[in-house]
Amino acid sequence: MSNISKDKIYGAATVGERGQVVIPADIRKSFRIKPGDKLIVFAKHEMIGLIPAEEFSQMLDKMSKVVARFKN
């Protein structure tokens, strides 16, 4: 995903009556998000973020290995 700009505004999204949000097409294309993909929703301070579930899982695996090194 080296073509992804970390400091880019991709557009705006509107929350519908049922709480659904449409992710702008440009960011879906950049992150290769397809219908049916799972995203982890998180909040930090006043910000809301989305992380593809697979990326989140890989990050947790890496973090577990780092923590395991400190336990030994």
The partner residues of 47 in beta bridges, in order of sequence, read 44
The mean per-residue pLDDT over the stretch 10-22 comes to: 93
The mean per-residue pLDDT over the stretch 28-46 comes to: 92
Q: Residue 1 above 50 pLDDT?
A: no
Q: Residue 36 above 90 pLDDT?
A: yes
Structure confidence at residue 15 (pLDDT): 93
**Which tokens sit at 8?**
């880019």
The mean per-residue pLDDT over the stretch 45-71 comes to: 90
Q: Residue 3 above 80 pLDDT?
A: no
d(Cα 52, Cα 37) in Å, to the nearest integer? 8
